[in-house]
């Protein structure tokens, strides 16, 4: 050892920090803010996601079934006859828990008719909630091993799930193809990490060779196929996998108690469950609590014509399929029809006045809000000689009343306020303001309302 060198004693110099100490430090940093509201996420599946995970969070969890060979690309392939189509549940709006439970229920019912479990292929769709999709696929293998074990088929080959994963259609849009490309990139990455055997990346508005390119990057540059189950040992992913598996197993048992998958499908109870989940997701997108980039927020204002056609429903699918972007696509299509008929798109003037910070923030909000309808957006500090169809006041709450009293009597088009100044609503309406847009607005309802007000044909 060189003179003056010191031996590192990491264990002594950096002793383990108890969870209680971490929690105390977090609460000090929060300065009285609500821990649960600020740092704990409750997903639409009902899973509680903590801000951090430690070894104690995965103590006692069972091991994952062994993965098979490395995944391989499967572009332009036809699903095997009789494949278990869990992806159909996904496209009907299912949560990760429902997709797992109903997929396993369908597999178990097939197993009673076809005991050779190793011949069954499962097809899942990978969505954009990255870690949840990884955990979903890992949970699927665990659940199938549990189900097959109940039939007395204990060998590894029988218990291993043959898993074909494709990218989701639920979150794609006929507009903004490059956002779709980014979505399939994260979806395929999570599918590979989660343990798929085959991976299909569906082009949606972008050239098919780009889908092949994503496959090659994952395999040949990122080497995602080099390690089996690379998420194993992650405290977060292991805990998330267990949570999804436990909830999906409970739902699977409920389906089984009601007579099994086919009975649930024929009675309509399965469709009703999916419809309720889909409605909640659609509401979250319409109110912009869930963001679809380029669809309900951050639109490309220059993109007036869609780049892709919506895919046709698959034959044999017993469930209604619906993409979350469709309500906004219909709104944009209506604006385009109006432009073809009249020669111009509706124009929204963002009138920025007063407090610079607030006026800029509210103008940006309004640009995104009305841009999602395909309207032309014109920011300005002046409303004279403008050819706007709607004027949106963008200022601070204390300045709105005076601004409305100035503008409303001098214009012939509707005036809207960007914000929700609750204590001034009545006064602003008396001054001539005809509407308000803010973070609590349902964008689909509000944009449709203003299309109606502007006389746009349905």
Q: In this predicted model, what pLDDT tens digit does every residue of 408-434 receive, in sequence order?
A: 999 999 999 999 999 999 999 999 999
Is the same domain home to 246 and 385? no
Q: In this predicted model, what pLDDT tens digit does every residue of 279-301 receive, in sequence order?
A: 999 999 999 999 999 999 999 99
Residue 363: give the domain boundaries: 344-453
pLDDT, position 46: 84
Is the same domain home to 271 and 128? yes
Q: Which of 255, 271, 286 is the last residue of a domain?
A: 286
The answer as to whether 144 is a domain residue is: yes
Is the same domain home to 279 and 364? no
Whether 192 contacts 71, CB under 8 Å: yes
Average model confidence (pLDDT) across the chain: 92
**What's the total number of domains in the chain?**
2
Mean pLDDT of 111-124: 80
Read out DSSP for 107-153?
A: HHHHHHH---GGG-EEEEEE-S-HHHHHHHHHHHHHHHHHHHHHTT-
List, in order, residues 6 or more apart from 151 with CB less than 8 Å away. Answer: 111, 115, 117
d(CA 409, CA 380): 19
pLDDT-derived band at 229, boundaries 50, 70, 90: confident
d(CA 416, CA 434): 6
Which contiguous run of DSSP H or E holds residue 418?
Answer: strand 415-418
Backbone CA torsion sign across 310, 285, 35, 26: positive
Residue 372: CATH number of its domain: 3.40.50.280
Is the same domain home to 113 and 204? yes
Burial 380-417 (b: 16+ CB within 10 A, else e): eeebeeeebbbbbbbbbeebbbebbeebbeebebbbbb
pLDDT-derived band at 81, boundaries 50, 70, 90: confident
Is the same domain home to 164 and 81? yes
Determine if the pTM surpasses 0.75. yes
**Cα 86 versus chain centre, distance:** 18
Q: In this predicted model, what pLDDT tens digit does every residue of 345-383 receive, in sequence order?
A: 999 999 999 999 999 999 999 999 999 999 999 999 999
Q: In this predicted model, what pLDDT tens digit does every residue of 161-210 receive, in sequence order?
A: 899 999 999 999 999 899 999 999 999 999 999 999 999 999 999 999 99
Residue at token pair 């050239």: 207
Is the same domain home to 98 and 231? yes
Tell me: pLDDT of 1 over 60: no
DSSP 200: E
| Distance, first Cα to last Cα, the chain | 82
DSSP 393: E
pLDDT, position 262: 94
Instruction: Establish how many alpha carbons lie within 13 A of residue 396's alpha carbon, considering only the half-sphere containing its beta carbon.
Output: 7
Is the same domain home to 178 and 80? yes
């Amino acid at each position: 050892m060189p003179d003056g060198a010191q031996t590192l004693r990491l264990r002594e110099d950096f002793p383990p920090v108890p969870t209680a100490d971490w929690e105390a430090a977090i609460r000090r940093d929060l300065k009285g803010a609500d821990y649960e509201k600020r740092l704990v996420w409750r997903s639409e599946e009902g899973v509680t996601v903590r801000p951090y995970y430690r070894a104690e969070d995965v103590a006692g969890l069972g091991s994952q079934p062994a993965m098979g060979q490395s995944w391989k690309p499967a572009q332009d392939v036809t699903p095997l006859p009789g494949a278990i189509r869990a992806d159909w549940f996904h496209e009907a709006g299912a949560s990760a828990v429902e997709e797992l439970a109903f997929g396993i229920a369908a597999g178990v019912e097939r197993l009673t008719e076809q005991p050779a479990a190793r011949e069954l292929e499962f097809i899942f769709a990978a969505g954009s909630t990255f870690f949840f999709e990884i955990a979903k696929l890992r949970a699927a293998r665990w659940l199938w091993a549990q189900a097959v074990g109940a039939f007395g088929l204990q060998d590894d080959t029988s218990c291993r799930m043959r898993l074909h994963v494709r990218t989701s259609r639920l979150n794609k849009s006929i507009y903004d193809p490059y956002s779709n490309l980014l979505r399939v990139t994260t979806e395929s990455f999570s599918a590979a990490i989660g343990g798929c055997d085959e991976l299909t990346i569906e082009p949606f508005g972008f050239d098919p060779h780009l889908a092949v390119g994503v496959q090659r990057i994952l395999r040949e540059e990122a080497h995602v196929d080099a390690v089996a189950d690379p998420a194993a040992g992650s405290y977060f992913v292991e805990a998330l996998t267990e949570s999804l598996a436990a909830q999906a197993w409970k739902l699977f048992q409920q389906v089984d108690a009601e007579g099994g998958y086919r009975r649930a499908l024929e009675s309509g109870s399965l469709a009703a469950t999916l419809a309720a989940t889909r409605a909640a997701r659609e509401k979250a997108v319409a109110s912009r609590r869930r963001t679809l980039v380029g669809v309900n927020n951050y639109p490309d204002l220059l993109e007036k014509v869609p780049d892709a056609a919506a895919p046709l429903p698959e034959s044999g699918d017993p469930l209604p399929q619906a993409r979350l972007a469709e309500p906004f696509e219909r709104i944009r299509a209506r604006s385009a029809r109006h432009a073809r008929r009249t020669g111009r798109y509706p124009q929204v003037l963002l009138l920025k006045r007063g407090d610079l910070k607030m006026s800029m923030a509210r103008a940006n909000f309004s640009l995104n809000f009305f841009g999602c309808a395909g309207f032309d957006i014109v920011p300005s500090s002046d409303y004279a000689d403008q050819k706007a169809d709607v004027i949106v006041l963008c200022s601070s709450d204390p300045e709105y009343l005076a601004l409305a009293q100035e503008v409303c009597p001098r214009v012939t088009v509707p005036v809207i306020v960007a914000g929700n100044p609750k204590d001034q609503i009545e006064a602003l309406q008396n001054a001539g303001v005809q509407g308000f847009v803010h973070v609590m607005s349902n964008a689909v309802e509000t944009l449709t309302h203003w299309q109606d007000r502007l006389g746009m044909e349905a």
